[in-house]
Chains A and B, each alone.
Chain A
């Protein structure tokens, strides 16, 4: 009887952990919005071209994200009025958001083609779309905005 009670309690605890919603999807959504804000304030002419990972495979995600985060440092605001927004969005995007793991990627950051800031940010956006789509749970009727 007492063992049954203990097992019931353990079962409850585990089931509660499993039903907790993953915050990963929300994180990628937030990052997508931030990249859109940055696209509005970034300077696109007469600037340095940046290495842009294009559709990295699943084994190269961490490398690609690191490449994007390093490239963001080289961006510039389009005028002095948007300095505050620019600084805020860059700070959010520089924070690490993928777990550190062993990754053996064949392509390094420098192997990717260099592109203009808008295309660079479009590719970053696309990577966020991929991560968000893969992390959304297939539940009926639930939507978290």
Chain B
């Protein structure tokens, strides 16, 4: 018998007391979408729960109610459910109900109405890279495994080995400029991300990224955090990123950036220009686009003058069949007869004036 409602829980506890341990009932269902790839909804841990749980979920206006396909276990107790990407719909009201049953009695734990776009937790940023810019400036860039960069906002946390507390800086893009860097200090940078207000209303920050270091670690005074302990004067190690190495990596990254945003557009524009010029200059191509319609009148000016308006023109034999557009005669292409034997069409031109030519077939 399902009995929902918090008010009835104490009565039920007497009956389910043998099953349930110190913490009587799950606090509630907590769902998180990890990087929009999968979601887990959990209601407790194996230490506190001992009943038999089952989860049912549905979307508003999209029944039926479905049971969880993949449960999460802890010490042979179901403590959560895993949803795959195909089972997740955002911007739709999502409801979950967890049934706790023990000794034939069932307790229902309903959840609140949820909207899954507000429960997205992106993955931590990766590929943190430091570039040396001109004028003592540093530029930190990273990328995010989350597919839609425009939906993210980031926070950079940094500290030098001489500072006592971390500085947090909110950033909207994937580039953070650090204005004036002291070459004597040793800096540590972390980044984390969150879905911004344009894609959801969340407060779920990702985990902090793997740190990136910069600078000279000659004195370890004041250094804290996960850096290695006192290092020698020369800051060369597997984990630290020395300025020379950083400069090399930075230059390579910068080169790649210039290639992508400057060289490729310019090259493609130039290529287009070359093609256009070729097109216009090549007469063969020009004639194909703008074919010359044969105008017989001008060709016969001289003939008209010589013969005083009365002359005959023999029409060429292979022109008895209709011409295709690429067979039109041009000044550069000599006409070549393709076949012999077809009848010639003799055309008699009666020329009344140089500009009008009347023809009749004989």
Contacts and interface: CB of A to CB of B under 8 A. Distances in A.
Contacts of A46: none
B149 A6 contact: no
A145 B149 contact: no
B317 to A, nearest CB: 28
B271 interface: yes
Contacts of A57: 61
A31 to B, nearest CB: 10
Contacts of B61: 57
B153 to A, nearest CB: 10
Contacts of B285: 2, 5-6
B270 to A, nearest CB: 11
A25 interface: yes
Nearest to A8: B275
5 contacts: A6-B279, A28-B198, A129-B117, A133-B151, A145-B173
Given A2-B285, A6-B285, A55-B91, A141 B198 contact: no
Contacts of B172: 143, 145
Interface in B250-280: 268, 271-272, 275-276, 278-279
Contacts of A133: 90, 117, 148, 151, 198-200
A142 B282 CA distance: 41
Contact of B272 (A12, A28, A130, A138): A12
Contacts of A5: 275, 278-279, 282, 285
Interface in A116-145: 126, 128-130, 132-133, 136, 138-145
A32 B151 CA distance: 13
Nearest to A36: B197
A144 B174 CA distance: 11
B60 interface: yes
Contacts of B150: 25, 132, 136, 142-144
Interface of A: 2, 5-6, 8-9, 12, 16, 25, 28-29, 32, 36, 54-55, 57, 126, 128-130, 132-133, 136, 138-145
Contacts of A140: 143, 149
Contacts of A139: 149
B92 interface: yes
Given A9-B279, A55-B91, A55-B93, 5 more contacts: A12-B268, A12-B271, A133-B117, A139-B149, A141-B143
Report which residue of B147, B149, B173, B200 has the largest number of chain A beta carbons within 10 angstroms of its beta carbon.
Answer: B149
Q: Tell me what chain B mostly uses at the interface: helix, strand, loop, or mixed.
A: mixed
Interface residues of B, number: 33
A9 B284 contact: no
B91 A130 contact: yes
Nearest to B278: A5
A129 B91 CA distance: 9
Interface in B76-113: 90-93
Which 8 A-B residue pairings sit nearest by Cβ, starting from the closest?
Answer: A2-B285, A143-B173, A138-B147, A130-B91, A136-B150, A133-B199, A136-B148, A132-B198
Interface string B141-172: 00100011111000000000000000000001
Contacts of A142: 149-150
Contacts of B19: none
Contacts of A25: 150
Contacts of B282: 2, 5
B288 interface: yes
Nearest to A54: B93
Nearest to B142: A141
Interface string B12-50: 000000000000000000000000000000000000000
Contacts of B288: 2
A4 B28 CA distance: 67
A2 B275 CA distance: 10
A114 B24 CA distance: 40
Contacts of B276: 9
A141 B272 CA distance: 28
A141 B257 CA distance: 11
B275 A9 contact: yes
A93 B350 CA distance: 75
A16 to B, nearest CB: 8
